Structure formats: C-alpha cells, structure tokens
Structure 1
Amino acid sequence: MAAVEASRGTAEVAPRRTPGSTLVRLLTTTDHETIGTTYLVTAFAFFLVGGVLSLLVPAG
C-alpha cells in the first residue's frame, strides 16, 4: 500500500516540443517503423499531387 501512495506523488509532466522538433525527429530518425510511415505518407501525398496535376492538363 505504501508503494502505491508513493508513486502517486511523483507524476511527471511531458516536456513541451518546439514547433520544428517533430519534423527534425522525422527526418533524422533511424526507427524503421517511423521511416516506413513517413515513406507511405509521402508516397500518398505525391499520388494526390500527381492526380491533381493530371486533372489540370486538359484545362491547359
């Protein structure tokens, strides 16, 4: 019971991130899961950009 009460008072607050820290973390990571997720998001974004550009070709 004493261990439970002692652990309640030691709550840690998560550190605040600076605005660009997430981008820097994504670009400099060596974690294979984060690299894979970034790869998929980037591929999907370029797929969408290519689709929008292909719709603009007949208008030109």
Structure 2
Amino acid sequence: MDKNRTEGAKNQVKGTAKEVAGKVTGNTGKEVEGKVQKGVGKAQSAVGKSRDEARTHR
C-alpha cells in the first residue's frame, strides 16, 4: 500500500475531528480548517490509490 493512502486516511480522520470540534465549540475557523484537511486527505488517498493501481498493472 502506498504511503499516500495511509497519510491521506490519517488526514481525513484528523480533519473530521477538527470539523466536529469546530461545530461543537462554534469555532468556524477550526471547522473550515477541518474541512480543508479532510479534502487534502481525500486527494492524497486518491494519489496513493492511483500509484497502487499503476504498480499492479506493470
């Protein structure tokens, strides 16, 4: 498994936690920061998935 997939998953979890914390506390900045980090994690996971697929099709 590509490192980007695991790092991406980690970023998605951290982003979700920040987003929820922001919603609960009313901290809009933290909520937005969480959404951004979650998006970065999804993109990073997609890159890792593509790399894994490229390796298997060699």
In the superposition, the TM-score normalised over structure 1's length comes to 0.49
Larger RCO (CA under 8 A, 6+ residues apart): 2
Larger Rg: 1
